[in-house]
Amino acid sequence: MNLRVKNALISVSNKENLAKLLKTLKKFNINIISSGGTYNSIKKLGYKCTELSKYTGFKEMLDGRVKTLHPKIHAGILHDRQNKKHKNEMSKQNFPPIDLIIVNFYPFQKIVFNTKNPKKIIENIDIGGPTMVRAAAKNFKNVAIITNKADYSPLIKELENFKGKTSLKFREFMSSKAFGLTAYYDAMIANWFNKRLEIEFPERKTIFGKKFQNLRYGENPHQQSSIYINDYNDIELGFRQIHGKELSYNNYNDMFASLDILNSLKKNSATAIIKHGNPCGVSENRKPVVSFKNAYASDPVSAFGGVIACNYKINRKIASEINKNFLEVILAKGFDKEALKILRKKRNLRIIDISNFKFKSLISMKSFDGSFLLQTKDLIVLDKKKLKCVTKLKPNKKELAEIQFAFNVCKHVKSNAIVISNNFSTIGIGAGQPSRLDSCKIAVQKAKQFQSSKIRNSVAASDAFFPFADGINTLIKAGVKTIIQPGGSIRDQEVINAANKAKIKMFFTGVRHFNH
């Protein structure tokens, strides 16, 4: 059912793009009601407008906290035009209908992003705006609601096509957008309070997100996908794509995994190579080019078509190394001009600058059907108070640093996870196996295939305890001389005995790092 728009109420904190809309409203003789800054802007643009306080006969009060919260406004929005009782009540009160509401809210998220002053933040929690929006959205059969300046053009088109009227289809669609906005707005406020009060797991958890972009498809071509931003700054993700084709769902998934690893490696130049959510090469070194080469050498076959993340700036020399291989994405803290010139030769290579990326949330989430799981992020690597050498042979300082590196990388590998490293570079990774023994075999096989000369005297890390001695025996046989694991198995002594017999060093951390 198409309905004529006779009266419109406009109350917007963002005054952009009003002129073209006002021209259309005037063309179809639509009366405008407004207040405050919006009223002044409309008058300055040369259009007639009735001030809200004159319309209601009631001056705004409490520093503007109460102005649109008035029966004449809400009855005008909420009454059912087909209900005789409603029509009679409106007639008795001499309340005209309001057929179009154009509202955007106080910029709560912008204020939160720019200040830590709680008084200022609370004053920017909009009450009247969301109340009008909810009222109009509920009564979409009779009222059109516009909550975004991007929808001015569709509204203008609607009024032009239907000669001053709006269609039911349009009103219902705008209603769905309006309820999405009020839910988003309230979720931001609730999350601000939870963060302020340090409530990580509230009784009711609302997650807000604004669509950043549609993706080509999901994990597979028959799946649809989009990426959303869950932050008060919902315009950017914190990193910038410089070159290459659009990022896919799988690209983002691998990029996020790589950023998690880089965030845990801060001492030297670090490189992480990710494939299908798992690291296949990680290295730390004082020299960036050595870090890159060592990470890639860990498993060059798996690195094919992977994502490489670096916590350093890419120069010409490293760019030339990168271009010897086929990669999907390169993330780095900047690229010099010569490096970009080289990398751009690969038309599809996605080049991402992560110079300004910062982690903002310490909570991770997984969803399934009608439920979701929340947990704090796994930020611990080693608790030095719990670290215990359980073998007769004891470590030196360098070995302690190496085991910390290996155990840290292990934390980012899908369980069951085994990582073999040498000189702060992975040389073999066994990931995601139901059997820990199989993960040991895979890590050894990878190390023998690509880094056989480095297995001797290497370090192996396990994300959880060894239930039997067979796993460590596989590692020892390959040449591993130091093993780090959480411990806690009923057969720990059996495993310790095997380590002592082989004259290797083994540490218990008391910290498990499952990553599912």
Distance of CA 136 to the CA centre of its chain: 32
- Amino acid in the structure at residue 122: I
Pairing of strands 458-462, 480-485: parallel
The number of beta carbons lying within 10 Å of the beta carbon of residue 225 is: 16
Catalytic residue among 205, 276, 293, 317: 276
Contact 218, 187 (CB under 8 A): no
CA–CA distance from 513 to each of 43, 410, 516 (Å)? 63, 8, 10
Contact 305, 322 (CB under 8 A): no
Q: What angle do CA 150, 152, 153 make, to 5 degrees?
A: 90
Contact 295, 281 (CB under 8 A): yes
Sequence-distant (≥ 6) Cβ neighbours of residue 512 within 8 angstroms: 463, 464, 465, 486, 488
Catalytic residue among 74, 110, 138, 293: 138
Alpha helices in 211-248 (DSSP H): none
| Both tokens assigned to 125 | 């929690």
Map residue 47 onto helix, strand or coil: coil
- Among candidates 101, 77, 98, 102, which has minimal Cα distance to 18? 102
Relative orientation angle of helices 128-138 and 168-196, to the nearest 10 degrees: 140
Task: Quickly list DSSP for 457-471.
Answer: TEEEEESS--SSTHH
In degrees and rounded to multiples of 5, residue 331 shows phi and psi of: -110, 135
Contact 106, 129 (CB under 8 A): yes
- Among candidates 422, 500, 428, which has minimal Cα distance to 458? 422
Contact 376, 363 (CB under 8 A): yes
Q: Is 138 annotated in the active site?
A: yes
Q: Is 388 annotated in the active site?
A: no
CA distance 445 to 468: 20
Residues carrying an active site annotation: 138, 276
